[in-house]
Amino acid sequence: MATDGQFEYESILCVKPEVNVYRIPPRTSNRAIRAADWKLDAPDWTGRMRVTARGKVAYVKLEDKVSGELFAQAPVDEYPGVAVETVSDSSRYFVLRIMDDNGRTAFIGIGFGDRSDAFDFNVALQDHFKYEAQQTCFTTRGKNRSLSSRRLQRWRC
């Protein structure tokens, strides 16, 4: 694990060549978000999506297909959580909380043309945070070596 001032590796968890981005209407109530309320026939932007991880944080990066220029980025600290939300009426659409360099946030909708692409995206985030939880558990176990082996066997993360 990198300490202050050291370089931390960025690993690529998932790449999808085509993702659609939608402006979503503001929430009027606490009810679940529906993709049917978006203009699904006219996406506001189309590009490539890369899911990367640096340390414990995953990043959903939306990039131009040709130039690779960053369009938007969503840091994900936990999943499921506020940064990535599923919609109630489809498995192919999600709500992302994107963040700029100044810390300002906005919510956008993303959608995949194929369910398998949405599944891959979902599993990549789940696997990353499952791995990080296991690493935290192993680190904690290593610090508590004074515990008896019987207690360690009963302790499951």
Q: Give residue 40's identity as a one-letter amino acid code.
A: L
CA distance 1 to 100: 26
Give the domain range for residue 76.
10-24+36-140
Q: Is residue 29 part of a domain?
A: no
Bridge partners of 106, per DSSP, are: 98
List the one residue out of 49, 51, 27 whose CA is nearest residue 38: 27
Map residue 51 onto helix, strand or coil.
strand
Q: Is residue 128 part of a domain?
A: yes
Q: Does the predicted TM-score (pTM) go above 0.85?
A: no
Q: Any idea what the CATH number is for the domain that residue 92 is in?
A: 2.30.29.30
List the one residue out of 86, 76, 31, 29 whose CA is nearest residue 51: 76
C-alpha distances in Å from residue 52, one per residue of 111, 116, 124: 18, 19, 9
Give me 55's structure tokens.
């340390």
pLDDT of residue 52: 97
Q: Is residue 49 part of a domain?
A: yes
Torsion angle, CA of 94/99/105/108, rounded to 10 degrees?
A: -30
Q: Is residue 62 part of a domain?
A: yes
CA distance 97 to 121: 15
List the pLDDT tens digit at each of the 157 positions of the chain: 455 546 789 999 999 999 999 999 888 778 889 999 999 999 999 999 999 999 999 999 999 999 999 999 999 999 989 999 999 999 999 999 999 999 999 999 999 999 999 999 999 999 999 998 888 887 776 555 555 554 444 445 5
pLDDT of residue 155: 46
- Angle at CA 141, nearest 5°, toward 136 and 143? 100
Domain tally, the chain? 1
The answer to whether the CB of 18 falls within 8 A of the CB of 113 is yes
Q: Is residue 3 part of a domain?
A: no
